């Protein structure tokens, strides 16, 4: 795992062996960020990283100039890894919250310019995430929500759906808050 671009470009992240997360592959992450750089400005954006895992996506946002990242992760091992990585890099604008993503969504009163979710692919509640995000109005106008999932999910009928891109076994569905 590595940070692809920005201030921390080329830095390798070595998660512990006992981590239960499935980190997004460098190939898929690089493809995702190639798409995103044509759709949004990372500089100054507030980002929410749900099911943060190793924190790789949030750290990529920090490296590219995000103002703040809130990473929500339930597993203690992953949370500790993100915290120690932030200390090693000197990152002080990535906040790690240990807890249930669905409880966080229901209690959150903040809005973000970008939201990323990488839940376990077999999570029964995975299909509800777009509706929860938009129902709680967590995205700023013009903001993007990207949901990583397997090819067992199809979100094309969601009113805020833009497209799905597939990279190997990784699928990214893009949603945008076009309301002003």
Query: Cα separation of 124 and 122, whole Å?
Result: 6
Residue 158 reports pLDDT greater than 60: yes
Q: 88 exposed, middle or buried (CB, 10 Å; 0-12, 13-18, 19+)?
A: exposed
The ranges assigned to domains in the chain are 42-176
The pLDDT of residue 143 is above 70:
yes
Q: Which residue has the tokens 């990784």?
A: 170
- At 2 the pLDDT is 84
Q: Pull the structure tokens for residue 52.
A: 């943060």
Report how far residue 64's alpha carbon sits from residue 44's, in angstroms, rounded to the nearest whole number: 9
Question: Residue 102: pLDDT above 90?
Answer: yes
Share of the chain above pLDDT 90, in %: 79
pLDDT band at 179 (very low <50, low <70, confident <90, very high): low
- Could you tell me the strand order of the sheet in which 161-167 lies? 94-98, 68-73, 46-50, 112-117, 139-149, 170-176, 161-167
94-98 and 112-117: which strand pairing?
A: unpaired
Of 3-12, 81-90, 105-114, 121-130, the one with minimum mean pLDDT is: 3-12
Percent of the chain's residues with pLDDT above 70? 98
Architecture, CATH, for domain 42-176: 3-Layer(aba) Sandwich (3.40)
Label residue 95 by pLDDT band (50, 70, 90): very high
Under 8 Å between Cβ of 86 and 108? no
Confidence tier at 142 by pLDDT (50, 70, 90)? very high
148 strand-pairing partners: 172
Nearest to 114 by CA among 30, 26, 10, 32: 32
Q: What is the C-alpha separation between 158 and 69, in angstroms, rounded?
A: 26
Q: What is the pLDDT of residue 178?
A: 84
Which parts of the chain fold into alpha helices (H)? 26-36, 56-63, 76-89, 101-107, 129-135
42-61 pLDDT tens trace: 999 999 999 999 999 999 99
- Average pLDDT of the chain is 92
């Amino acid at each position: 795992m590595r940070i692809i671009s920005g201030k921390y470009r080329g830095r390798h992240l070595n998660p512990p062996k006992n981590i239960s997360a499935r980190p997004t592959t460098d190939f898929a992450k690089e493809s995702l960020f190639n798409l995103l750089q044509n759709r949004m400005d990372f500089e100054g954006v507030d980002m929410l990283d749900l099911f943060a895992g190793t924190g790789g996506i949030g750290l990529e946002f920090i490296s590219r100039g995000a103002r703040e990242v809130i990473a929500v992760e339930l597993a203690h091992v992953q949370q500790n890894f993100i915290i120690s990585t932030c200390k090693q890099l000197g990152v002080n604008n990535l906040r790690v919250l240990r807890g249930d993503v669905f409880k966080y969504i229901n209690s959150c009163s903040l809005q973000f310019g970008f939201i990323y979710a990488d839940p376990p692919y077999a999570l029964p509640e995975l299909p509800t995430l777009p509706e929860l995000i938009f129902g709680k109005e967590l995205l700023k106008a013009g903001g993007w929500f990207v949901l990583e999932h397997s090819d067992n999910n199809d979100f094309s009928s969601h009113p805020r759906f833009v497209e799905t891109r597939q990279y190997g076994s990784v699928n990214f569905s893009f949603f945008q808050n076009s309301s002003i």
